[in-house]
Structure 1
Amino acid sequence: MSEAKKLHVALFPWLAFGHMIPFFELAKLIAQRGHKISFISTPRNIQRLPKVPPNLAPLINLVSLPLLTVEHLPQNAEATTDIPSHKTPYLKIAFDGLQGPLHQFFQTSTPDWIIYDFAPHWLPPILANLGISGVFFSMYGAWTLSFLGSSTSAMINREDSRTRPEDFTVPPEWIPFPSKIAFGLHEAKRAFGDHIEVNNSGFSDVFRLGSVIGGCNVIAIRNCNELESNFSRLVGELHCKPVVPIGLLPPADFDGSSDQDDMWLTIKEWLDKQNKGLPFFWALRKRENSVKLPDGFEERVKGRGTVWTSWVPQLKIMGHESVGGFLTHCGYASIIEALYFELPLIMMPISIDQGLIARFFGEKMVGIEITKDEKDGSLRRESVAESLRLIMVEKEGRGYRDKAKEMKKLIADKDMHDRYVDHFVEFMQNHRVA
């Protein structure tokens, strides 16, 4: 390959760590190829990011933009992890207030490309005026993008033939191949109020998503053709945009023996003693006014389980030999990490896209979804116990365990995922706005 010009690439993720961390991993991968990076977020989030590797420090500039003070948003709340979910629209209002500072940054720093998330519906016109190329980097799988809208204009102008929650419980008519990916009724009802219709931020999430897709030069998806190609191809056809898979961004250079800090040693000591039955390690990150355990719960499960309410080293826990399965809310990044360690999935989705992720990986037979009440999304303790036993110990679950092991080969293929990133970087080098 001939020596192409080195790029200056800015990255601007939504204020959630499930978005910021994959953006940060992509930033490091681009920097490894010799390109200059500006990673843009707010001061507290910048401080909470993983450390930049010393060899990449000269190429990665961490840019802090101050977040507006917004009514109903607690002081120092700069990410979704800092607030209960019903206050997320107010975080989006604060995020929209970054428009002015970001515009100023572009005028002085002039990146060749900016890679951005679903939320800044106001960003594409700014980029067009300044002659900066834009990548929409989707944290959502191609199946979710396909499900949410038939075209950019339909998403922006709310021209969807689906007008009731019930309409979202079946695959849409524009998906031309067999698929079971759709919302459950309880998911559709919640999505309608929180994401499909206008929320307290002043805009619907679908409007935001349609706007950034409509204004980008290319759609980048955390995906690879070896996992699926039909939905990725369909996204390009629906939105008339090039779609570039960037690989799955699997865990890089995992070493379970490193960073022997006191917290990990405490957790490891407990894990080392577990080898039979179904003991559990529950990482329960408590948000304000969120999950409350029943009185006496921790005392009753003593000896059978541990509830950990602060940050945990998830990769180290998953890589421990005593861990045999992963009960997950179905965040895409966590599922990729679990399958990297050959862990079959017990899926309990919560937010808008997680149900669709559960359906997708359910079709891959790498785990099962816990049965919920269709109307209200409640679940029975018996359903949880039955799902855990099936996946973890029973003969009937062996097929899921075997499929999870097979998926490891795909996710751990570093050379393959590197080629996807190489192709993405080459695309940016060859398709900049003149």
Structure 2
Amino acid sequence: MGFENEHIVMLPFMAQGHIIPFLALAKQIQQRTNFTITIATTPPQHPLSFCSTDHGLPPNTETPENLPLSKQINLFAASVSLEVPACRLISDIMEKEGRSPLCIISDVFFGWANDVADSLGTVNVSFTTGGAYGTAASTSIWLNLPHRSTEEDFFTVPGFPERCCFDISQLHPFIRAADEHNQ
């Protein structure tokens, strides 16, 4: 399989801290490969239809910028509604080009992108815009729930040095409440 005229579709979470690393990645890929890259997000960038008021958000809210912290969880929850327009956009690209994109590179928050990729005969690569250390620690905590097996206020993170310990109060309430049945 040759890699001429390939197309990659990128789906960043709609926030500057996520879009900027996707732009940097797109630039690196494009400079090395000359692939066509489509970055799809909510308006005003590349339009994926999204109606913020359908999700309890103020009108024309496509990013967490200027959004009160109490409403940011609504934006995260609403991001699931991007699955259908993303699928439609990629289907349109496929119709125009006569084949599936080489891959979809999606934000780690868009787990639904795996289903989109499967349904369209391509692969999804999950991209995290956070630092490697924090991402690895968070993943280890979610997978192992080490705070659930201690009576102390502190716990160590599996796979990290013993001196790396966290206070349970530093965890998000979702993680503190998680158990092996609702991870």
Normalising by structure 1, what TM-score? Answer: 0.35
SS in structure 2 of the partner of residue 170 of structure 1: strand
- Residues 146 and 155 in structure 2, CA contact (< 8 A), matched pair in contact too: no
Q: Which residue of 2 aligns with 1:120?
A: 110
Structure number with bigger Rg: 1
Map Cα deviations across residues 23-63 of structure 1 (whole Å, 9 max, x no partner).
Answer: 1111122222311010010113x1xxxxxxxxxxxxxxxx3
SS in structure 2 of the partner of residue 119 of structure 1: coil
Percent identity, please. Answer: 26
Matches within 5 A, 1:268-287: none
1:102–1:162 distance in 2 versus 1, CA, 3 Å: same
- Residues 70 and 93 in structure 1, CA contact (< 8 A), matched pair in contact too: no
Select the structure with the greater relative contact order (CA < 8 A; seq sep ≥ 6). Answer: 2
Matches within 5 A, 1:384-423: none
Matches of 1:168 and 1:9, distance apart in 2: 45
Q: Answer yes or no: is 1:192 the counterpart of 2:173.
A: yes
- Alpha-carbon distance, 1:78 to partner: 1.0
Matches of 1:39 and 1:168, distance apart in 2: 43
1:164–1:95 distance in 2 versus 1, CA, 3 Å: farther
Q: Which residue of 2 aligns with 1:94?
A: 78
Q: Answer yes or no: is 1:16 the counterpart of 2:6.
A: no
Matched letter for residue 17 of structure 2: G
- Alpha-carbon distance, 1:143 to partner: 2.2
SS in structure 2 of the partner of residue 82 of structure 1: coil
Q: Answer yes or no: is 1:64 the counterpart of 2:47.
A: yes
Unpaired stretches in structure 2, ≥5 consecutive residues: 94-99
SS in structure 1 of the partner of residue 39 of structure 2: strand
- Alpha-carbon distance, 1:126 to partner: 2.2
Q: Which residue of 2 aligns with 1:43?
A: 43
SS in structure 2 of the partner of residue 98 of structure 1: helix
Q: Answer yes or no: is 1:108 the counterpart of 2:107.
A: no
1:122–1:6 distance in 2 versus 1, CA, 3 Å: same
Unpaired stretches in structure 1, ≥5 consecutive residues: 47-62, 199-205, 208-434
Map Cα deviations across residues 315-348 of structure 1 (whole Å, 9 max, x no partner).
Answer: xxxxxxxxxxxxxxxxxxxxxxxxxxxxxxxxxx
Map Cα deviations across residues 164-206 of structure 1 (whole Å, 9 max, x no partner).
Answer: 898784322x31x525444344422xx124x6658xxxxxxx9
1:131 pairs with one of 121, 141, 145: 121
SS in structure 2 of the partner of residue 162 of structure 1: helix
Q: Which residue of 1 aligns with 2:6?
A: 7
- Residues 42 and 48 in structure 2, CA contact (< 8 A), matched pair in contact too: yes
Matches of 2:162 and 2:37, distance apart in 1: 39
Q: Which residue of 1 aligns with 2:156?
A: 171
Matches of 1:119 and 1:166, distance apart in 2: 31
- Residues 165 and 192 in structure 1, CA contact (< 8 A), matched pair in contact too: no
Matched letter for residue 126 of structure 1: V
- Residues 48 and 82 in structure 2, CA contact (< 8 A), matched pair in contact too: yes
Matched letter for residue 83 of structure 2: Q
Matched letter for residue 66 of structure 2: D
Matches within 5 A, 1:182-221: 182-188=165-171, 191-193=172-174
SS in structure 2 of the partner of residue 97 of structure 1: helix
- Alpha-carbon distance, 1:87 to partner: 1.1
Give the CA RMSD over aligned residues.
3.0
Matched letter for residue 38 of structure 1: T
Normalising by structure 2, what TM-score? Answer: 0.77
- Residues 9 and 90 in structure 2, CA contact (< 8 A), matched pair in contact too: no
Q: Which residue of 1 aligns with 2:96?
A: none
1:78 pairs with one of 49, 58, 62: 62
1:71–1:65 distance in 2 versus 1, CA, 3 Å: closer
Matches of 1:73 and 1:164, distance apart in 2: 38
